[in-house]
Structure 1
Amino acid sequence: MSRRQRITTALILAPLPILALLFLPTPWLAALVAAVMLAGLWEWTAFAGIEDKTPRILFLTANALMMAALVWGGGPSLFTLKLVGLVGVAWWGLVCLWLARPGFGTGDSQRARGLKLLAGSLCVVPAWCALGWLHSEGDFGPRWTLFAVLLVWAADSGAYFAGSRWGRRKLAPAISPGKTWEGVWGGLAASALLAVPALPLLGLGWSSLPALVLLTVLTAAISVVGDLFESLMKRHSGVKDSGALFPGHGGLMDRLDSLLAALPVFVVGKAWLGL
């Protein structure tokens, strides 16, 4: 993909999610994001080697029903959404172990397919719950949600440009040969810088800056894990991109992978740090 094509696509698409995050009520936003994430799960079924439409539709339906049940059972306190958000943090910890053994889950056995389908649900559903939890938190909820998304975009863009310019040391050559440690540091730096102008917009005082920078860097770091995990799934299935929906950016899951890991860690970290 060319750098110009990548930038042009991003500039065209970016205003839509920004406006949705800022101005849609939480129930409407949750419904819209659920539809987008379920479409991403449709792409994920290809990673698991599922080609027939019927099992793919059944898998999406099961995840949609799970989302609906979580909202129905959460009540005003959003208990179930918060609980599943915590499950998401634990899941991404396990993914780190999976990345350390990239051969785990390979093959076309029924066990491997089932494992990858379960992984898809554990990537998507907790992230969706985390977004609903974050967005519904008072008057500043939409701004916090937008900040979470923007910091992942900043980390992704910083990693892309730093890696293209200075990348030398491979991050995970067995999983994604193009990613470098220099790109990671560039992404972390870009996301950390974003915390400074965001501070007053999030209703925080300057004394909260260290905690916000820590949250930002941790979230950006785990977003790299999300990107690597999707790369591993694509490598297992032998595909280059999850789809061709966005010129220069691949499919939906190629755009969602970092966010799926970032959202649970961000909202749980925010609560833990008292921000």
Structure 2
Amino acid sequence: MLKRRLLTAALLIILIVLEILYLNSTTLAVIFAIVVALSAWEWAGLSGYLARAQRIGYVAIVLFLLILVYSAHSFWPTAITVFLLSAAVLWWLIAAYWVLRYQQQCDLLPNSSPLRAWLGGVVLIPSWLAVYQLHQQYGEYWVLFLFVLIWGADTGAYAAGRLWGRHKLASHVSPGKTWEGFAGALLVGALFAGGAAYFWLDESEALYQIGFVLLSLATVVVSVLGDLLESLFKRKAGVKDSGQILPGHGGMLDRIDSLTSAAPFFLAGLLLMGSLS
């Protein structure tokens, strides 16, 4: 099981890095749209739509919305970006409250399948746009930084949790996560972001570098929220994994849950920093 998990992770990392570095923004958007479609299939199941026809219909709707957003973004890039990023930030504030209340044994998640499915669109579509625009506007290395930041934080959380984990972070939501693991994620994130600011943004003003590190740490925190929210939806659906498409890793949604929250937040932060500088 461990060998299969490590092999799958290695292949995914290599494939993702090559796609980010060598594909143009539009092609990358298409590839990520496929990832979103697979995740939408799994989200439909978490929403209570188990019939094949229902899940196909949901995927078709999500893909149609992606095409609509892409087309509208071509004409009104600023308006579409501001609208979707604002909606995403607002949604993740609500999601943080839901996770907190669930930990306090107060379940606020809707039981309605249509409403859960609609929330899936709010989770998936802004993250798709964020990755696309980050690549298009800032370049491939900024996208790579975001992915490595999330991967590094996840690895730091896993290692610290295994070695020193004693205190549960959210026992009712995801029993395996600990405050020690959370601290490990922040530590790795701080080291990586600090190194990137020093060597990569060496010609930037010190205030911008500090803002970049703080944004990166905030992105790590938000990425944990994405993981917790998916765990909450899986718990409600009574499943361990969102799917079985990735050997040893579960579903596609299990792999991008952190990205769904981190990508819109990171891009929104960069745009805000740019407007203030």
TM-score (norm: length of structure 1): 0.91
Alignment of 1:246-257 (within 5 A): 246-257=246-257
* 72-81 vs 183-192, which moves further: 72-81
What SS is found at the alignment partner of 1:49?
coil
Distance 1:169 1:55, change over 3 A: same
Gaps of 5+ in 1: none
Task: Show CA shifts across 1:127-180 (max 9, x none).
Answer: 01111111111xx52111111111011111110111111111101111110100
What is the letter of the counterpart of residue 134 of structure 1?
L
Task: Show CA shifts across 1:29-74 (max 9, x none).
Answer: 0011011111111011111111112221121111111111111112
> CA–CA distance in 2 between the matches of 1:129 and 1:13?
21
Native 8 Å contact 2:21 2:141 kept in 1: yes
Alignment of 1:88-103 (within 5 A): 88-102=88-102, 103=107
Alignment of 1:150-165 (within 5 A): 150-165=148-163
> CA–CA distance in 2 between the matches of 1:115 and 1:182?
35
Query: 1:82: how far off?
Result: 3.8
Query: 1:247: how far off?
Result: 2.8
* 214-223 vs 11-20, which moves further: 11-20
Query: 1:206: how far off?
Result: 6.5
> CA–CA distance in 2 between the matches of 1:182 and 1:38?
34
Aligned pair count reads 268
> CA–CA distance in 1 between the matches of 2:77 and 2:25?
12
Task: Show CA shifts across 1:110-132 (max 9, x none).
Answer: xx212211111110001011111
Native 8 Å contact 2:110 2:116 kept in 1: no
The residue aligned with 1:191 is 189
Alignment of 1:176-255 (within 5 A): 176-199=174-197, 200-201=199-200, 205=204, 207=206, 208-255=208-255
What is the letter of the counterpart of residue 104 of structure 1?
L
Q: Identical aligned pairs, as a percentage?
A: 37
* 217-226 vs 192-201, which moves further: 192-201
What SS is found at the alignment partner of 1:171?
strand
Aligned structure 1 segments of 4 or more residues deviating by more than 4 angstroms:
none
Native 8 Å contact 1:166 1:182 kept in 2: yes
> CA–CA distance in 2 between the matches of 1:226 and 1:209?
26
What SS is found at the alignment partner of 2:248?
coil
Task: Show CA shifts across 1:165-216 (max 9, x none).
Answer: 1111101111110100110110011111111332344675372331121011
Native 8 Å contact 1:215 1:269 kept in 2: yes
The residue aligned with 2:65 is 66
TM-score (norm: length of structure 2): 0.91
> CA–CA distance in 2 between the matches of 1:76 and 1:197?
37
The residue aligned with 1:174 is 172
Distance 1:146 1:247, change over 3 A: same
The residue aligned with 2:140 is 142
The residue aligned with 1:123 is 123
The residue aligned with 2:8 is 9
